[in-house]
Amino acid sequence: MTVQDHRIYLDYNATAPVYAEVVDAVATALRERGNASSVHADGRSVRAAIEDARDSVGELVGVPSSAITFSSGGTEANATVIRGLLGSGAVSKVYCSTIEHPSVLEHVDPQRRSSVNGDGQIDLNKLDDALKKQHEPFLFCIMLANNETGVIQPVGEVSALVHERGGLVLCDSVQGPGKLSLGTDSLGADFLTFSSHKIGGPQGVGCFAINTDVALEPMLIGGGQEKKRRSGTENAPGIAGFGAAARVTGGRSDGEQIEQIRDQLEDALLEARPDAFVFGQNVPRILNTTNIAIPGVSSERQLIKLDLAGFSVSAGSACSSGKVSASHVLLAMGVSEDMAKSSIRISIGAETAWSDLEKFVEIWATL
Amino acid sequence: MTSELKPNRGSKPRIAVAMSGGVDSSVCAALLVEQGYDVIGLTMQLYDHGAATSKSKTCCAGQDIHDAKRVADKVGIPHYVLDYEKRFEKDVIIPFAESYQRGETPIPCILCNQTVKFRDLIDAARDIGAEALATGHYIRRVEDNETVSLHRAIDQSKDQSYFLFATTPEQLAFVRFPLGDISKSETRALAEKFDLDIADKADSQDICFVPTGSYTGIVDKFRSGDPSKGRFVHVDGHDMGEHNGIEHYTVGQRRGLGLGGEAEPLYVVEIRPRNHQVVVGPRADLAKHEIDVRDVNWLGALGGVPEAETRIQARVRNTHEPVPALVSRGSRQDQAKVSFDEPLYGVSPGQACVFYDGDQVLGGGWIMPGGTNMTVPHNKRNEGAAVLSA
């Protein structure tokens, strides 16, 4: 049984719905019978599908396909880079911004997290001050765009500062593809990480791109797949699906249209409830994301009532239990706990129609 | 199920179910789905499970929440986890710790029913448009014309009426107890019938937020003031050495006192929080004829506890059977005086005294320190009412 028939899905930043082309690509790959490491024709056929996908992903994110290593997703990609650099001795300390995804944040000592301003952007002056005291080889992790607020980070400037101090940069770019122009050239980062299911591909696959010759100690060893950077038989159907999603995403040109209805949505929400507050509205955000609070109405209550009314949205970072906690991102921006616990995230995508959002506004206004 | 809610094909009344992840509430949810209600599962996150079990890398949610989710999925209902950690600490855990510091033996499950469960969870249920909140408690709610009353469960061995005495008439109007009319073995059979994975799950035993069984750690954590070490004092006045802190003892306790060498076994007969004394004495000194109870909830006839002494049965521990007694209004409106026909042994301040008329629950209150020790004739010693253990 599928639940999607009568529902309106507004949670693209959690997972974007899979494209039909992706379903086909995954199904085709599942029908193959070889192992990509095998010498025979069956194996070669699977290998070809993986390498085609690598080309497609490389093209989408603006890096040579040879720089890409597939992983089980963004979390593993982040961990492989961070632990790999610590493991190889290339860096001895890891720093990050306070608004990173938990898959980065939890690798980093709270003392080494760099604060953001009230708009949710990393504070470059404070970062500069902190880096001045840095004498050991280090890694700085900065996300391209925040998954909860959509706020875009000045990755190019951060990279310049970090490089000036002799550090390396990991840019968690999971929320970037299809929403922002990418590529190591413009970002200046040494490592980029991506996730397939944020761009309409299958869950359980992602990658990292390396733009430096610094050594990474692999986390998974034995088998030597992915140029020894990530052993284990490749998730060939997942990778094929990721490649298909990259091709569809690269061919889309509806960004402006999505941004327009997002802005229209925010106008309608704020008109319906002038007491509501949209976070990050003063600074550049990715085109599909709105994080809005209704003071005095808990996120928990909003999520439950919206869910029962047929809308899928999210709030903060839900624990695997389903308990809704205050967003660490909003708290890092200096938002009060009460306010942070009254916010929800709406993230839209290609299939979101304005009529869906009109229905949403109607229900949301009554919460 | 006793209810004015009538499920029908046109519009199904919405009913929220408090799902703990255990067999009882799971079956409760499945039954209501079968009866055609629009059921929504709610689970309360009450404390950080990882912290409670001192496993820092463990998820904040215990296995129970995951079990509740699996059951909700199986029976096809929406399920939500409500974060009540802060309220639970404020309304249950801290009062639990404070009660021990007052020399009492608290029952946090009743406080939880009184506060988070039947106040906050009812609010949440109303908020999502539910017309009632069902729980898996073994207790019966009987609706008769305009009145709603509370009665002991059909399965007397599982009866939870002791823990629900504080249910107010307003709360009683909104809650439902679908399992009050069936036995635990029937519940397990239903769990099998509904093919629920938790059909064989053991009943919960401990206080949920002290899964390790060591409640004194909680008392220490929330202690206001000095540690409560002090002296054992015999009822005849002589000092019997140092004890570990009053929270380690409960009135009626015999084992674990470490006081040997007396002719008769010694029991804790009183705890004096002011000077940290634990008074011990022979069993006869435990006898209580009359006690005062506070924060009384009255579910009998209108007008509260009768001023004149009224015949009831009273129960001072969940493990005791109700005994014949008289109740009358106390010196304050929210207090009552209870006199037992036969003296009771091991009546602990902080426990509940629940009033019954046969199977009907008339309410109850919290046992206050003090009370009257009736002098028991020597030839009557070791007879009489409830014998305590612990």
- C-alpha dihedral over B95, B101, B102, B108, to 10 degrees? 30
Query: A195 and A221: one domain?
Result: yes
Inter-CA distances, B119 with B72, B172, B174, Å: 23, 11, 11
| Average predicted confidence (pLDDT) for chain A | 94
Query: A286 and A298: one domain?
Result: yes
Asked, colleague to colleague, whether B226-281 and B285-380 share their fold, the answer is: no
Decide if pLDDT at A245 tops 90. yes
- Please report the pLDDT score of residue A1 as a whole number: 41
Is A323 in Cβ contact with B78 (below 8 Å)? no
In B9-57, the DSSP E strands lie at 14-18, 38-45
- Nearest-CA residue of chain B relative to A1? B76
Range 86-145 of B in CB contact (< 8 A) with A? 124, 127-129
Domain ranges (residues) in chain B = 14-200, 226-281, 285-380
Taking residues A35-39, what's their average pLDDT? 95
Query: A87 and A200: one domain?
Result: yes
A251, A270, A289: which is the final residue of a domain? A251
Query: A242 and A266: one domain?
Result: no
- Please report the pLDDT score of residue B162 as a whole number: 96
Of A300, A307, A320, Cβ closest to residue B83: A300
| Average predicted confidence (pLDDT) for chain B | 88
CATH fold, domain B285-380, is Elongation Factor Tu (Ef-tu); domain 3 (2.40.30)
Is B65 in Cβ contact with A319 (below 8 Å)? no
Taking residues B18-47, what's their average pLDDT? 96
Task: Give yes or no for B50 touching A (CB within 8 A).
Answer: no
Decide if pLDDT at A3 tops 50. yes
- Nearest-CA residue of chain A relative to B65? A321
Contact B100, B112 (CB under 8 A): no
Decide if pLDDT at A28 tops 80. yes
Query: A25 and A173: one domain?
Result: yes
Taking residues B186-210, what's their average pLDDT? 88
More confident residue, A117 or B374: A117
- Please report the pLDDT score of residue A132 as a whole number: 87
Confidence of residue B7 (pLDDT cuts 50, 70, 90): low
- Please report the pLDDT score of residue A193 as a whole number: 97
Query: A111 and A240: one domain?
Result: yes
Contact B142, B2 (CB under 8 A): yes
Decide if pLDDT at B50 tops 90. no
Q: What is the pLDDT of residues A284-338, one digit of tens each?
A: 999 999 999 999 999 999 999 999 999 999 997 666 667 778 899 999 999 999 9
Q: Looking at residue A227, which CATH number applies to its domain?
A: 3.40.640.10
- Please report the pLDDT score of residue A4 as a whole number: 57
B255 token code pair: 């084992």
A184, A219, A251: which is the final residue of a domain? A251
Taking residues B265-283, what's their average pLDDT? 92
Residue A86, phi then psi, degrees to nearest 5: -65, -40
Confidence of residue B4 (pLDDT cuts 50, 70, 90): low
Confidence of residue B257 (pLDDT cuts 50, 70, 90): confident
- Please report the pLDDT score of residue B220 as a whole number: 85
Query: A229 and A279: one domain?
Result: no
Of B81, B127, B128, Cβ closest to residue A322: B81
Decide if pLDDT at B264 tops 90. no
**3-state helix/strand/coil string of A165-217:** CCCEEEEECCCCCCCCCCCHHHHCCCEEEEEHHHCCCCCCCEEEEECCCCCCC
Of A162-166, B149-153, B365-369, B382-386, which gets the smallest average pLDDT?
Answer: B382-386
Taking residues A13-41, what's their average pLDDT? 96
Query: Could you tell me which CATH class the domain B226-281 is placed in?
Result: mainly beta
Q: What is the Cα–Cα distance from B160 to B156, expressed in whole angstroms?
A: 9
Query: Could you tell me which CATH class the domain B14-200 is placed in?
Result: alpha beta
Q: Looking at residue A269, which CATH number applies to its domain?
A: 3.90.1150.10
pTM for the full predicted model: 0.89
Query: A106 and A188: one domain?
Result: yes
Taking residues A143-156, what's their average pLDDT? 96
* Range of the structural domain that residue A291 is part of: 4-17+253-364
ipTM confidence score: 0.87
Q: What is the Cα–Cα distance from B366 to A40, expressed in whole angstroms?
A: 79
